[in-house]
Amino acid sequence: MSVEQTARSARVVLYSDDAATRAAVRRAVGRRASRDTPTVTWVEVATPDAMTAEVAAGGVDLLVLDGETAKVGGFGLAREVKDSHYDAPPVLLLVARPQDAWIAAWSQADATVPHPLRPIEVAEAVAALLRARVAPAAASPSA
């Protein structure tokens, strides 16, 4: 990854109605998920309307959605975003247990991390999704 790529900030929308969950994700990732990914600009939201407004505004590099959020969980929101946006950002879904992988697949999530959240696992998942999102734009062939 070039200096230009790492200088760019990645905009990550973090959706959960639980402030402790949002704080755990932010602590796990920190300012940068890995050395070869951009710094993260966190946008925390606690309501589905705020999350969909952020996606509609554009410029989102990654969505981290809590599948355990009450009333409107991340599973349904992930599916809604993937179905309604042509170039939807990748989605990392926080799930209650690994057995929820089947519903995460239905929701079209790009990756999952089970509770309890393990910092290394969260950071690695965020880094992988950011690499996939940011690298293709920089790797376009030159004429």
Question: pLDDT of 79-137, one tens digit each?
Answer: 999 999 999 999 999 999 888 888 999 999 999 999 999 999 999 999 999 999 876 55
pLDDT of residue 136: 55
pTM: 0.89
Nearest CA to 68 out of 60, 76, 58 is that of 76
Paired with 44 in beta bridges are 14
Query: Within a domain: residue 143?
Result: no
The rounded distance, in Å, linking the Cα atoms of 1 and 74 is 31
Per the structure, the count of domains in the chain is 1
Query: Within a domain: residue 43?
Result: yes
Q: Which domain holds residue 25?
A: 3-137
User: For the chain, how far is it from start to end, CA to CA, in angstroms?
Assistant: 20
Query: Within a domain: residue 108?
Result: yes
Say yes or no to pLDDT of 68 above 70: yes
pLDDT of residue 97: 87
Query: Within a domain: residue 103?
Result: yes
- What is the pairing mode between strands 91-95 and 40-45? unpaired
